[in-house]
Structure 1
Amino acid sequence: MEVERMRAFLIKFFYYTLIVAIAYCTLKFVVPFFMPFVLAFLIAFLLKTPVNRVAERLHLRRSPVAVVMLILFYAVLVTLTTLLGTRLVLAGIDALKALPQFYSSTIEPAIFQIEEWLGGLFARLDPQLIAALETMSQSLTDALGSAVSAISSAAIAVTTGAASHIPSFFVKFLLMIVASFFFVVDYYKVASFLANLLPPRGKTMLFRIKQNGVDTLLKFARAYAILLGLTFVELSIGLSLLGIKNAILIALGTAVVDILPVLGTGTILIPWALYQLFSGSVGQGIGLLAIYGIITVVRQALEPRVVGRQIGLYPLATLLCMFAGAQLFGFWGMFALPIGLTIFMQLRREDRAAASAAAAPAAQDGPAAPPPGA
């Protein structure tokens, strides 16, 4: 009996290990390779319900409605991307134009003040200590120059690499547009073809994953909406206490930036704080750094708890999944792995509930009655 249990355990262990390995290889290598088609299918999936509703209300065929709505979708996407990109480029140009004046009016006087303060301090020190400090200062200056050169070289390399990927990006983008037209027009044919590639049990599992996946994504969105609202409240209170004008609007914009990939509140608060410190507003600079520190600590402490409570995972398990996902798949893995684990656990709960429901009638019936004359 013990041998059978051990054999069953090993079979399940290797089975789930194989599933995890296949899923990892698929997400790590296959999905990125076919990313234009994956994104095109996701766009068709998102537009499926609006297309059906518009076609039903206007009593039109689905195909022309799908084409028109897809054109509108890409028009809005390109317009918003162009406007945002233009704003960012213009803001960067203005910042570069203002940089020399900012240096001459703010940074250079601050450096002179620091030098005067250090000069007065050195005048009261021992000559040998002064020589050691001057040597240390020269070494620090050389190291700073080397760091600036390294950063400049890295920035040039990143810019050159990004420029070299622009043609490939446009080719993939055009491929995604063309594929999305085919997918959105023949969505049900494509979905039926992909589903028929699976065995009946696989179809059922795919349908269950889809249902639980949508529910989990909604819960995930609710969790990050709570975190976004909390960040907005913290920023509003902090900026208002510092006496900053339009604190509510600035807090709203900073909170929105906080949910964007790679960016965060530090993208706005840290440069702003450094500017205030260099310009002489030491109180506001320290206050902005304090706000950033509070937001970061609260976010790190509450994110696993809030997300875990919404999607039904223990906070420590949520934190572990987010860390492992970020290490394995990068930024998006931080969200994908907790969602995948939640879907898996929900499917296990449904299977156990179905097994319990099937076993209950058999237990109530009791053992079979003995035959007559026994």
Structure 2
Amino acid sequence: MIHWVMPFIIGFLIALALRPITRFVNRFVKSTGKGVALFVIAAFYVLIALIIWFLTSFLITQFTELIYTMPRLYFNRVEPVLLEFNDWVVQNAQTLSPDVASTISQIITNGINYLADFIKNISISFVQFATRLISNFPLYLISVIFTIVLSVFISLEYDNIT
């Protein structure tokens, strides 16, 4: 139920928040028309759209780079160090007992394999998350458009509403 009421609440809050700016611009240009309210709302949404655009493009670029870099970083840097550590542990454990050395080696190898699978699955999880987000995008878009239209109408008719 709140999903259907939220655009009305957000639209009213946006119109309420922009009301002082509209009054200031009205005094500055010595106008009482609704064109100033429309201009303030349009400028607000253009600013919000630019911020969202730049922030989204930055975050997508950074996440994409991270997803591409993590497997290479793991397989080129971390895994060789872990394998070297495994060899060192096995070599030192063999002086105590060969059975203990093989058990420890198997435990460390299983840990390394688990970590490699985890790193591989991160990119799959990211793609699944992006797919879910994109599949819900039309619903979000309709809510945003409805909120924008409501805030414009409320801002234009604010004096009649209050």
TM-score range normalised by the length of the shorter chain? 0.7 to 0.9
Counterparts of residues 44-193 of structure 1 (less than 5 Å): 44-99=15-70, 101-103=72-74, 105-137=76-108, 140=111, 144=115, 154-190=125-161, 192=162
Counterparts of residues 1-374 of structure 1 (less than 5 Å): 30-99=1-70, 101-103=72-74, 105-137=76-108, 140=111, 144=115, 154-190=125-161, 192=162
Change (3 A) 1:156 1:82: closer
How far the C-alpha of 1:108 sits from its partner, in A, is 3.6
- 8 Å Cα contact 2:19-2:155 kept in structure 1: yes
Partner deviation per Cα, 1:137-193 (whole Å, 9 max, x = no partner): 455456556756776665444332211101111111111111111011112322x3x
- 8 Å Cα contact 1:31-1:38 kept in structure 2: no
Change (3 A) 1:92 1:169: same
Cα distance in 1 for residues equivalent to 2:17 and 2:106? 64
How far the C-alpha of 1:77 sits from its partner, in A, is 0.6
Cα distance in 2 for residues equivalent to 1:114 and 1:142? 14
- 8 Å Cα contact 2:90-2:101 kept in structure 1: no
Cα distance in 1 for residues equivalent to 2:114 and 2:72? 26
- 8 Å Cα contact 2:86-2:109 kept in structure 1: no
Cα distance in 1 for residues equivalent to 2:109 and 2:72? 27
Change (3 A) 1:91 1:157: closer
SS of equivalent residue, structure 1 residue 61: coil
Query: Gaps spanning 5+ residues in structure 1: where?
Result: 1-29, 193-374
Change (3 A) 1:157 1:92: closer
How far the C-alpha of 1:88 sits from its partner, in A, is 1.9
Once the two structures are aligned, what percentage of the paired residues are identical?
Answer: 20
Cα distance in 1 for residues equivalent to 2:12 and 2:33? 17
- 8 Å Cα contact 1:66-1:185 kept in structure 2: yes
Cα distance in 2 for residues equivalent to 1:139 and 1:32? 47
Structure 1 letter corresponding to 2:16: F
Cα distance in 1 for residues equivalent to 2:98 and 2:69? 41
Q: How many aligned positions are there?
A: 162
How far the C-alpha of 1:57 sits from its partner, in A, is 2.7
Structure 1 letter corresponding to 2:41: L
Change (3 A) 1:98 1:155: closer
Change (3 A) 1:109 1:152: closer
Task: Specify which structure has the bigger relative contact order, considering alpha-carbon pairs within 8 angstroms and separated by 6 or more residues.
Answer: 2
Change (3 A) 1:53 1:185: same
Change (3 A) 1:155 1:93: closer
Change (3 A) 1:131 1:93: closer
Cα distance in 2 for residues equivalent to 1:147 and 1:66? 53
How far the C-alpha of 1:48 sits from its partner, in A, is 0.7
Partner deviation per Cα, 1:308-366 (whole Å, 9 max, x = no partner): xxxxxxxxxxxxxxxxxxxxxxxxxxxxxxxxxxxxxxxxxxxxxxxxxxxxxxxxxxx
How far the C-alpha of 1:122 sits from its partner, in A, is 2.3
Cα distance in 2 for residues equivalent to 1:147 and 1:54? 56
Cα distance in 1 for residues equivalent to 2:57 and 2:123? 24
Structure 1 letter corresponding to 2:38: V
| Structure-1-length-normalised TM-score | 0.38
- 8 Å Cα contact 1:51-1:66 kept in structure 2: yes
